[in-house]
Amino acid sequence: MTCTDALSSPEHLPFTVQTEIPPASDWCQRWQQRTPSWRHASEGGFDARRYTVEPLAEEEAKAFVLQHHYSASYPSAKERFGLYLAAGAERRLCGAAVFGVPVSEAVLTKPLPELRPYDESLECSRFVLLDECPANSESWFLARCFEALLTHGVRGIVSFADPVPRRSNTGALIAVGHVGTIYQASNAAYCGRATARTVKLLPDGTVFNSGVRAGSRHGPVMAGGPFRQVSWGACVVHSMA
């Protein structure tokens, strides 16, 4: 697939043939029902008058993320925001941002040592917009989230983007990987690649962890057993001080 910009020069859509999504790309990834799609920044069309950002209840945020985010999992959340289409009488949730507590305090203190973890610094652990949102919705939504977080005393956000595609045991593409285009557009500081780690995946491509094993997050373990894949993560930091 290709897209032609205003200068009529084709730019190829990063897709399934690559082992990693290239970081220099104007394609923004979207998710709906855990299925990826792409919007190009040149499309434009975003009208802030049609959208509003509001705090999102835990139950509503969890349901939206589990339904649409490729990970099919919900993290430990401290702050949650929803992007609503609010045009006339219509009001519909079309995006969610979740900021919370990472698995290790070092995730926050290493890139943001001057900030108090969990209070002044958080991790952006889930960010998902439906494909119906116009191009460039992400950066506007993220900026509104940062404004709200700043009023709550949060001064820094750590985010990760994993460019490595994830597949099921049959080779079906589950997650195409992403490079954090929205964080680049929001003036984040790139902090390098995280240490490579091997993750165990269930046959459907979801991550196998202690919560899965205990049945507390996804129910019984699927037949076929887990398999392994090496995962990398690019770390970016937003400083709002």
Could you list the pLDDT tens digit for every one of the 241 residues in the chain?
333 333 333 445 554 444 555 555 566 666 666 666 666 666 667 889 999 999 999 999 999 999 998 778 899 999 999 999 988 787 899 999 999 999 899 999 999 999 999 999 999 999 999 988 888 898 899 999 999 999 999 999 998 877 777 777 787 776 666 667 778 778 888 887 777 767 677 776 666 654 444 343 444 333 344 334 344 455 567 666 5
Query: Contact at 8 Å (CB) between 231 and 196?
Result: yes
d(CA 179, CA 11): 17
Given this model, what pLDDT does residue 214 score?
39
Closest CA to 201 of 104, 51, 50, 70: 70
Specify the pTM: 0.68
d(CA 85, CA 50): 6
Query: Contact at 8 Å (CB) between 139 and 188?
Result: no
Given this model, what pLDDT does residue 73 score?
87
Read off the tokens for 110: 């290493």
3-state SS, residue 213: helix
Query: Contact at 8 Å (CB) between 112 and 166?
Result: no
Q: Which fold has domain 29-239?
A: Aminopeptidase (3.40.630)
d(CA 136, CA 161): 18
- Burial class, 117, CB count within 10 angstroms (exposed 0-12 / middle 13-18 / buried 19+): buried
Given this model, what pLDDT does residue 213 score?
41
Q: Where are the domains of the chain?
A: 29-239
3-state SS, residue 108: helix
Given this model, what pLDDT does residue 13 score?
53
DSSP 62: H
Given this model, what pLDDT does residue 114 score?
94
